[in-house]
Amino acid sequence: KVPPRLRKVLDSLIQHLHDFARENEITVDEWMAAVELLNECGRMSDDKRNEGQLLCDVLGLESLVDEITYKMVTEANDLPTATAILGPFWRKDAPKRQMGDSIVMNKIEDGDHTFMYGQVTDYTTGEPIEGAELDVWHTAPNGLYEQQDPDQPDMNLRGRFTTGKDGKFWFYCLRPTSYPIPFDGPAGRMIQLMDRHPYRPAHIHFIIKAPGYKPLVTQIFDRRDKYVTNDSVFAVKDSLIVDFLPRNGDPKAEFELPYDFKLASF
Ligand code: DHB
Ligand code: FE
């Protein structure tokens, strides 16, 4: 028995694909080029490379479904923290770390060390959330995530932190860098065909999970980055743009970044 939602979505998909082909008079050769492109995405992908997702992202699809999903969970006025796309570089089982630890595992001379801190709260009551897990990841100053770069230690610039009673978190990371999405594959060719640049504004990713609350998948973006208004995968939302502040008297960090996360319960 086909679930009704699946039946509806599949019927609609077929209808739109057929309309698309008719409207554009797609030929056999053109369709075969598209099939080859999809196959190539599959061949390139493994647990370190997610070309299918990258392709969706340059087409704006992940950002669109993120927006649709977020609209469905939010009511007016006092909103939970906005969501943003997961992107292709999350890894499961990032190391669990203690509050105050650094996610920077290698010696970085050219990076801007940053102390990030804040609180996880319930967006309706404002109460702190205990036992919230923050899963965080970002790129190295060379613009590469750890799994793209053989010179970085495994799980570098990733970590999971769990809040105590007061819902607070604090850790060291880097002020991230803007960088091009990988464009040595079909997604990159697509971007070039459309005459677009491949850059993403500097960002830090988060997944925040707490018992009884909807998981929050999001990113925060550095306001100084020139790509903040021109993200190649359309993920920026105003409320996710942050200011890195100068930090005084801390030999471990030149910048600090306060940011709070507000979760919605189920
Ligand atoms: C994409 C997302 C990212 O967070 C990133 O670092 C690179 C690419 C993407 O959506 O394709
Ligand atoms: Fe990213």
Least confident of 9-18, 177-186, 251-260: 177-186
In the chain, pLDDT over 70 holds for what percent of residues?
Answer: 97
| CB distance 157 to 137 below 8 Å | yes
Per-residue DSSP letters for 219-250?
A: EEEETT-GGGGS-TT----GGGEE--EE--S-
Q: What is the pLDDT of residue 74?
A: 56
| CB distance 206 to 134 below 8 Å | yes
- Given a cut of 50, whether residue 96 has pLDDT beyond it is yes
| CB distance 200 to 226 below 8 Å | no
187 Cα to the center of ligand 1, angstroms: 11
Q: What is the pLDDT of residue 240?
A: 95
Mean pLDDT of 40-47: 94
* More confidently predicted of 81 and 76: 81
Whole-prediction pTM: 0.91
Q: What is the pLDDT of residue 109?
A: 72
Of the listed ligands, the closest to the CA of 183 is 1
Determine the residue of 48, 91, 200, 219 to mutate for testing ligand 1's pocket, defined as the one with the most ligand atoms within 8 A of the Cβ atom.
200
Confidence of residue 47 (pLDDT cuts 50, 70, 90): confident
Q: What is the pLDDT of residue 108?
A: 74
β-strands 112-122, 255-258 pairing: parallel
Mean pLDDT of 47-58: 93
